[in-house]
A and B are shown apart, each in its own frame.
Chain A
Amino acid sequence: MGDALKQKIQDVFDEPACGQNVNKSEQQRKKGCAKPLTPGAAAGGCAFDGAKIALQPIVDVAHLVHAPLACEGNGWDNRGASSSGSQLYRTGFTTDMTELDIVMGHGEKKLFRAIREVIEAHAPPAVFVYSTCVPALIGDDIDAVCKAAAEKFGTPCIPVNAPGYVGSKNLGNKLAGEALLDHVIGTIEPEECTPYDVNIVGDYNLSGELWQVKPLLDRLGIRILGSITGDARYRQVAMAHRARVTMLVCSKALITLARKLEERYGIPFFEGSFYGISDTSDAIRTLCRMLVERGADPDLLERCEALIAEEEAKIWAELETLRPRVEGRRVLLYTGGHKSWSVVSALQELGMEVIGTSVRKATDDDKDRVKEIMGDDKHMFENMAPKEMYRLLKDAEADVLMSGGRSQFVALKAKMPWVDVNQEKHEPYAGYMGMVDMVRAIDRAVNNPMWADLRAPAPWEEDTGPVRVMPELRGTCPVSGVSNDAVDFEDC
């Protein structure tokens, strides 16, 4: 690993804006916030995966992965970030390094040619070049290649230095943020700035979640100038330095990016969430307050309150109609972080009982909120082994599991309903309207008539009463043509 990358990693791990980090000793901080991985018991993506997740939603650029096949071949087109325009981001570009490239040291040359080919074929506004384990190990200098290519072809080439072995997905997110700060943000000036320009950082518009919130901002006249990176165009990211306020959406990973936007360009930021009703209201309220502090017309605050009151009333009325369908259902929530509490209150409000919520990746603040909402910490757990979760569901201690795709089959194989609440999901659950969609999804899952049929015993598990005595099998097996006795019949 180059010294520059080492320095970068140290830098992103030393995050003064992160509450958890500030409470650590100097020694702990050096180790970073990634837990060491246990061989044979590790789950989750690598740093490259994290970087790709954070940047791929930039829809009009070419994402070129400098790697042997697996990094892109096994992973392209597998996430649901939605685009309202270009589909170029969904095309898988890779240098597909072969043994020859590695042994002969042809990596850099091949990368340079690949950049030229992708620019010639697609004329993107920029090319994002991702380093991975193998080129990093053999010392390919993607920074130098990107620099040379950008000069030669006149298209920005952004090196993203996050080879998989440096750490987790979370670290990859951070390194992606650094790449944007170093090479993209501040490189283009918007034609016109308004006092209503904001950055939304950490929302990837998965299945269109950003679009569930955007109508609210549209009605308040708030413009998403810098989107990092939901449904983003390259130019948008490049102009992010001119926004008035940054909202950091449920993301500790990109907090460094938000802080540096503040330090370099004086854009204040706040952390908020669009999951849950009160959270959505809080986020919009804070956004408007901060815009007014930075010079927006104070009447924004009134308009904001009016909008919140109207939307909340509308959504609660809609949710109320669903109450009889979900009331009394016992939910096991297995997500983590912010979501461990942000949806709990809404579910409880509708008469559902949350029998447990995981607090993986959650901060102390998050944990306090869980205790506050659920009364005590009895229902709070860190990790749950799939076997234990299976038992819990099989014994019907919960009616539905809400989790990410990883534990999907734990519920389904226990013949229990499952609702996807993580990033791979196909339905968006953000903002006010997203809450209704989520409760509908719970309704659809738990009230499906299929469950009773599936759980009922098979014919041979039922008590059939006395069995009839039959004459012995005779004749010829229609499949094998062999004349039957009971033994032969088994074989055909």
Chain B
Amino acid sequence: MAKLVHPRRALSTNPLKSSAPLGAALAYLGIEGAIPLFHGSQGCTAFAMVHLVRHFKEAVPLQTTAMNEVSTILGGADQIEEAIENLRKKSAPKFIGIASTALTETRGEDVPGELREIIARRADFADTRIVYASTPDFAGGLEDGWARAVEAIIDALVPEVDPVWHSPELRQVNLLVGSHATPAEIEEMVRMIRAFGLTPIVLPDISTSLDGHVSESWAGTSLGGTALADIEKVAHSAFTLAVGESMRPAARLIEERACVPYRVFQSLTGLKPVDAFVRTLMGLSGVDDAPPSIKRDRSRLLDASLDAHFHIGGLKLAVGADPDLLFALSSTLAGLGAEVVTAVTTSNTNGIVERVPAETVILGDLGDLERAAKEAGAQMLITNAHGRHAAHALHLPLIRAGFPIFDRLGAQDICRVGYRGTRAFLYETANAVQAQHHRARPEDFGAAPISEEFEHVPPTASH
């Protein structure tokens, strides 16, 4: 069991975490026809937008209530109303997801109250669903913001169901995905669920909005995502599959609303976690056998583990990521004998950090990762693209994972879940080890180098 430690210092060097409002925006982008709206000064939005664009290489619709000094002090309800009005005029979004920022939270506004009042008064806003999540920058990181936004979406859009009238669609399941799932990972989960004859409603679904595709027209909103009609149908699913411990409150909320039982999968990376997922899918679909493609994929993962364990066994790792991703990746590699010598995370709200296979987990930044990795003699770094500075300074290979990844293309295609994704991840890690060329020298073992007099010296050309 890992202990969470807070380094005693005032200075944060090279931040690891991205902000909570950014996480909320990302979740909102997984809803069809959406525009996320930050309630804060325009800079909050500009920074987050640049961050998202650099990662996804996509236009990201993200707007701001453009708070200034006066509106901050007087309260920003008018700014919110004006923003909604302007967005509707310009882009006709079906959904606006509002996220608060440090600025408005420090002032302490009653946004939910104000918003209720605005929606009641402005009948013309009726065809845009508006959701608000409280996501101050000074509490938690991207994962927390994403989770708060998903809870806010459920709270606002999933209808309550009287248990007496509850008659679920037996082949329909909810899939709540955590902030660390890439579009390709969501696709892989969906593929597995469908292979059992089940139909998933993914919430939120960035696999259809941020997967990187060319659409036939220009829209000022998200280009895909969970349909609003499907969010209502969440109440009629037979079961909720939640991926990532951070999704537990959201799954519980659905249960409270609509009596849909749930199970949280803390990870879908690694043989055992995926086995648990498959076992659940077998139960849900009422079969005692798995489809051939799933069985084949499992058998391939076994083979990949056999090949990769030579390289991963004993490997000293330094991992820095949001809690759920940190747990998923480090427990997978620890399961093949790697040693997580340094673990750094971004938030203390997720209990999963206790289960990370390391002695301590540092609640810190990439400065901590670099320092601790050096002290512990780590051989490989796993963290987001900002880790390139540490990798460069320590001359270590870096596996890019999490957000942001801005210096490699195809961040949306990285898949490390399911039997297939785990297999790819094991190969990726083993290959990163093999890419480090080290030819053994006698000196490495304490032997003297071979005497120079034995070496053939080619004659120097006389012409």
Contact = CB atoms under 8 A, between A and B. Distances in A.
Nearest to A100: B138
Interface residues of A, number: 77
A491 interface: yes
Given A40-B83, A94-B15, A133 B68 contact: no
Interface in A34-90: 36-49, 64, 67-78, 90
B195 A492 contact: yes
Contacts of B199: 491
B162 interface: no
A69 B197 CA distance: 44
B43 A164 contact: yes
Interface stretch (A218-226, A314-322, A443-451, A476-484): A476-484
Contacts of A47: 43
B69 A165 contact: yes
Greatest chain B CB density within 10 A among A47, A92, A109 is at: A92
B254 interface: no
Contacts of B360: none
B11 A45 contact: no
Interface stretch (A112-120, A245-253, A336-344, A371-379): A112-120
Contact of A480 (B86, B101, B291): B291
Contact of A76 (B15, B69, B106): B15
A74 B47 contact: yes
Given A70-B44, A90-B389, A93-B12, A39 B83 contact: yes
Contact of B11 (A36, A39, A113, A138): A113
A491 B194 contact: yes
B138 A133 contact: no
A40 B107 contact: no
Given A69-B15, A111-B10, A479-B292, A42 B42 contact: yes
Contact of B47 (A45, A101, A137): A45
Interface range for B: 35 or more
A91 B107 contact: no
Nearest to B14: A92
B12 A96 contact: yes
Contacts of B15: 69, 72-73, 76, 92, 94, 96
Interface in A400-456: 405, 408-410, 413-415
A95 B43 contact: no
Nearest to A36: B68
B293 interface: yes
A77 B72 CA distance: 29
Contacts of B79: 39
A145 B383 CA distance: 34
A39 B139 contact: no
9 contacts: A39-B65, A40-B83, A41-B63, A69-B138, A74-B51, A91-B13, A94-B12, A387-B218, A413-B214
Kindly list the 5 A-B residue pairs having the minimum CB-CB distance in the complex, ordered from nearest. A46-B43, A40-B83, A40-B86, A113-B10, A70-B19
Given A72-B15, A165-B103, A480-B195, 6 more contacts: A38-B86, A45-B43, A74-B50, A92-B13, A117-B9, A491-B199
